[in-house]
Amino acid sequence: MTDHPPDDAGPDDATAVAGELALRVLSPAEEARARAREASDPAFAAEVQIWNDRLAALAEEIPAVQPSTDVWPGVEARIGAAAGPAANDNGRAGFWRAWALGSTGLLAASLVAVAVLATRPAPVPVVQPAPVGGVTRIATLSLESGTPAVTLVYDTVTGNLFLAPTAPMDPDAGVPHLWLVRPDGAGVQLVGAIDGSASSRHTLDSVLAATADQARAVAISMEAPGHTPAADRPDGPVVASGELQAL
pLDDT per position as a tens digit, 105-153:
444 444 554 454 444 444 444 433 334 445 789 999 999 888 899 999 9
pLDDT per position as a tens digit, 53-93:
777 665 555 555 555 566 556 666 666 555 555 444 554 44
Instruction: Report whether pLDDT(43) > 70.
Output: yes
Tell me the whole-structure pTM to 2 decimals. Answer: 0.52
- Give the side-chain half-sphere CA count within 13 A for 115: 30
pLDDT per position as a tens digit, 192-236:
999 988 888 889 999 999 999 999 999 999 999 999 999 999 999
Which position has the higher pLDDT, 102 or 48? 48
- DSSP assignment of 56-80: HHHHHHPPP-PPPTTHHHHHHHHHH
pLDDT at 5: 42
CA atoms of 128 and 195, how far apart (whole Å):
38
pLDDT per position as a tens digit, 157-180:
889 999 988 887 887 889 999 999
CA atoms of 241 and 127, how far apart (whole Å):
42
- Percent of the residues in the chain that have a pLDDT greater than 70, as a whole number: 63
* Count of beta carbons in the 10 Å neighbourhood of residue 231: 14
pLDDT at 106: 43
Three-state secondary-structure class, residue 184: coil
CA atoms of 92 and 80, how far apart (whole Å):
10
CA atoms of 118 and 106, how far apart (whole Å):
18
